[in-house]
Structure 1
């Protein structure tokens, strides 16, 4: 799983550089993100701007990361592509996560 980390203000930004989060990569995704969260920053913002496909296993992996971080740190999502946003909307997970429509680099004024 190809991810990168950066900062946006006090936040830790984790950018997913793969186009899919599905059953084939869900475990690798969770492990990569857990390792990345060893770095400081709250909230943790997961930039999904390059992800064009997310299945139920991928959604479960994102939820698992949220549970791993809670309650000390929040997981927020940013830059969801339309197909990924649709999965969050259809499963009503868009009411569970804070979702930023802009890329994390534009979030410095938020919070």
Structure 2
């Protein structure tokens, strides 16, 4: 699975290059993000602008990623389409994760 990575000041911007984040890629997605955290990056923005769909396995991966952040680490999700945003609202995960409309908003939250 390909994830574009960009460093902007102290923030690591990660953009999954996949239309569907489902059970077939959830483990690889989680491992890739955890590897980034293991390298010392703990201010993360996940840009979902290229993702059309996520399922519960991806949501579980995101929760694991969030739990793995420590020492002031933060995770912000941005550019969620209306279906993904609705899933976060229905599952009340919008209370667990910081959701932003776009990259600029997400980056400003972490600067």
| TM-score normalized by the length of structure 2 | 0.86
Higher alpha-carbon deviation: 36-45 or 47-56: 36-45
Query: CA distance change for structure 1 residues 8 and 52 in 2, over 3 Å: closer, same or farther?
Result: same
TM-score of the two chains, using structure 1 as the length reference:
0.86
Shift in Å, 1:99: 0.9
- Matched residue, 2:61: 61
> Which runs of 5 or more structure 1 residues have no equivalent in the other structure?
none
Q: Deviations over 1:23-49 (max 9, x none)?
A: 111111101111222444442111111
Counterparts of 1:20 and 1:51, CA distance in 2: 6
CA RMSD of aligned residues (A): 1.9
- Normalized per residue, the structure richer in helix is 2
Segments of structure 2 that go 5 or more residues without pairing to the other structure are: none
Tell me the CA shift for residue 71 of structure 1.
4.8
The alignment covers a number of residue pairs equal to: 110
Moved over 3 A (4+): 38-42, 106-111
Tell me how far apart the structure 2 counterparts of residues 20 and 36 of structure 1 sit (CA, whole Å): 21
The secondary structure found in structure 2 opposite 1:99 is strand
- Which deviates the most, 67-76 or 81-90? 67-76
Question: In structure 2, what is the equivalent of residue 5 of structure 1?
Answer: 5
